[in-house]
Structure formats: C-alpha cells, structure tokens
Amino acid sequence: MMATLWLVAGTALATTGLPDLVNLKTQPWQPAPPAVQEPLWPAGLKIAPPSMPGDEAFGNSTQNLAGLPVTVVEHVSRPTMTIYPPKGKNTGTAVVVFPGGGYRVLAIDLEGTDICDWLTSRGITCVVLKYRVPGSGPYWNDECNCRKDPAVPMALQDAQRAIALLRQRAASLGVDPHRIGVVGFSAGGRMVADVSNHAKLSYKPVDDADKQSVRPDFAMALYPGHLWKGPGITLERNLTIDPHAPPTFIAQAGDDPVDDVRESVTYYVALQQAGVPVEMHLYAKGGHAFGVRPTDKPITRWTSLAEAWMSNLGMLPEAIH
C-alpha cells in the first residue's frame, strides 16, 4: 500500500533519507518539457535550510499506486515553482499544488504533476510547488520521538511566495488575480490550512512581488495531516482559524491509516465555527495518498465534486480566450 511508503519514510528520514528508491538520481528534479522550473527566491538570497543537510535527489518508489510507481524528491534546499498552462480554453483560474510527504519528502508526481494533468485539462493554470524539505513544517522527529515545529516556517514561506509571484505575473499568464487557489495532500493539506489562515507575510519582503496578497481565493485539502490533537476533536494549538480564510473543500477516506479522518473533521468543525464556508466529503474506503489516479473505489471521483464546488464559487466560469 502507498501508506506503507510514508510510514517507512517516517522511520528512516531522521538520519538517512527515504529508503527503497529505485532509479535514484542525485540531482534536482526537473519537470518534463515544455514545462520549466523557476526559482522562488533570488539566487543570492540566504534562506533557512532544511532540518537535515543533503543534496537534492529523486527516485521511484518500489511500491506502485494504481499500477504506477511514485516519484519521490528529497532534500530540497532551493525551492521552485513549475507552471503548467491550461489545455484548450483558459478559464482564468489558477491553482498552486502542494505535494505531500510528511514534510520529509515530496510525492512530486502523485500529488504534484498528476494533479496538474487534471487541472490543466479543465482550463486551469497549474503550479507545482517544490518546497523545502525535510523539517519545513510540523513533523514527527524520530530522534526525540516527538512532534517538532521548525524555528522558521519554511513550507509556509514557500507557499506564500509562490502565490505572491503568481499574482504578480497574473496578467502575463492569463490568470485572474482574484481566482487563485491552492490544493494540498497530506502534509500539503496542512500547508493549505496554514496559507489560508495567515494573511501576513511569514518572511521579510524580498521584492515587489511581496506586495501582493498571499492568501488564496479558494482552498482544497485532501487527507490533511498535522491538524488534529486527540483524543477529542481539537485543533492543533499552533493553528488559529482566521474568519477571513477562503472557502475550503476537504476530502478524505475513513480507512486512512496514516492521517486519521479526525484531521479533516477537526478542521471542518473549526472552519465552520469561524464562519468560513467549507464543504467536506468523507468516504468509507480509499486509504491514504490516492491522489487522482483512477481506482475502482468511489473516492476516485472526488475531482468531479471539487469541480462542481469550484464552479459554484465562480472559480470555473465559462472559458475565456
């Protein structure tokens, strides 16, 4: 199961990085042409490093999901954004994608480029964020057997910077700056919550791009983690809901073995209590890390519900030229 990949990774990454990768390449991940990666931060700017040193590398998981392996990226110290233009007619809407991986690694295709294949086919500009890992957000540290928060919120900084850059370039990309959303998976789902509830910059402004709003106009969190504090339905203490957070869509499986379904339930209740429009869909079966790859389970069709939700928000208007 895909869940095993994340559980195994959680054990090994305290010291060595993700095991059991094949076709390992010790170089930065690159998207397939014609997409091109762009740096988030100026080359000479010093930014906080990940919690564990190492050169960026990527490889394939030994376990398949829906008949395909997963491309996993580790040790990202210089984050990037990769822009995928819409296929066919342009709706003017854009979505930034936050891949999951426990703030340790990035499932760059399963929860990144695969997501862009879906969104661009619907006329949406899609941006895959390759954010800093490991230790860039609230993560489980095996050395102390405890949950740790980074001294610098690197994942949030990278998410905000990507939104700022996208808004700055909206006109040249054919994007409506008021129709920019985010979607995140697992740890990326927690990033969705963070960027939705932080209107202020989490870093010192770098250039004119940082004059833009860094809050998304709509948000989708898929099997999010790092949100729930048991045993009741209690939100993690380091996240405060902003009543001005954007409309939010949540989906998860009840049999998720990695992130308890109460992660989603807790976030849903917190948003609702704050008066934030929120829609949630829970499925009996589906496990963890299902992404958008087709299976025989009903959860595979969550994308249709998400499209209907975006349309109702006015985020998927009739395509523009």
Instruction: Report whether 58 contacts 73 (CB < 8 A).
Output: yes
Q: Contact at 8 Å (CB) between 218 and 315?
A: yes
Phi, psi for 213 (deg, rounded to 5) = -65, 140
The secondary structure element, H or E, covering residue 107 is strand 105-107
Residue 109 above 90 pLDDT? Answer: yes
pTM higher than 0.85: yes
Burial of residue 217, with CB atoms counted within 10 A of its CB: 0-12 exposed, 13-18 middle, 19 or more buried: buried
pLDDT in tens, 243-257: 999 999 999 999 999
pLDDT band for position 218 (cuts 50, 70, 90): very high
Distance between CA atoms of 183 and 162, rounded to whole angstroms?
Answer: 13
Distance CA(29)–CA(116), nearest Å, equals 16
Mean pLDDT of 73-93: 96
| Residue 309, helix vs strand vs coil | helix
**Tell me: the pLDDT tens digits for 36-55?**
899 999 999 999 999 988 99
Could you tell me how far CA 15 lies from the centroid of its own chain? 24
pLDDT for 256? 96
Please count the CA atoms within 13 angstroms of the CA of 310 that sit on its side-chain side: 28
What value does the mean pLDDT take over residues 76-101? 97
Find the range with the poorest average confidence among 19-33, 76-90, 192-206, 231-245. 19-33
Q: Closest by alpha carbon to 186, among 104, 120, 117, 268?
A: 104
Given a contact cutoff of 8 angstroms between Cβ atoms, the answer to whether 106 and 98 are in contact is no
In this prediction, residue 8 carries a pLDDT of 34
Q: What confidence tier does 108 reach under pLDDT thresholds 50, 70, 90?
A: very high
Alpha carbon distance 229, 255 (integer Å)? 18
Alpha helices in the chain (DSSP H): 2-12, 114-120, 154-168, 170-173, 187-196, 262-273, 302-313
SS3 (DSSP) at 27: coil
Residue type, 136: S
Q: Give the pairing type, strands 248-253 and 278-283.
A: parallel
Helix axes 154-168, 187-196, angle to 10 degrees: 60
Mean pLDDT of the region 111-117:
98
Dist CA 186 CA 104 (whole Å): 12
Beta bridge partners of 281: 251
Mean pLDDT of 263-282: 98
* Residue 36, pLDDT score: 85
Q: State how far Cα 55 lies from the chain centre.
A: 22
Q: What angle do CA 30, 220, 304 make, to 5 degrees?
A: 95
Element holding 25 (H helix, E strand): strand 21-25
Residue 268 pLDDT > 60, yes or no? yes
**Cα(246)–Cα(172) distance, integer angstroms:** 25
What confidence category does residue 11 fall into, taking pLDDT thresholds of 50, 70 and 90? very low
The β-bridge partners of 126 are 84, 95
pLDDT of residue 53: 87
- Residue 280: strand pairing partners: 250
The overall average pLDDT reported for the chain is 91
Q: Is the pLDDT of residue 319 over 80?
A: no
Locus of tokens 């993560």: 139
pLDDT at 19: 53
Which residues are bridge partners to 130 per DSSP? 80
Q: Which residues on adjacent β-strands are paired with residue 182?
A: 96, 219
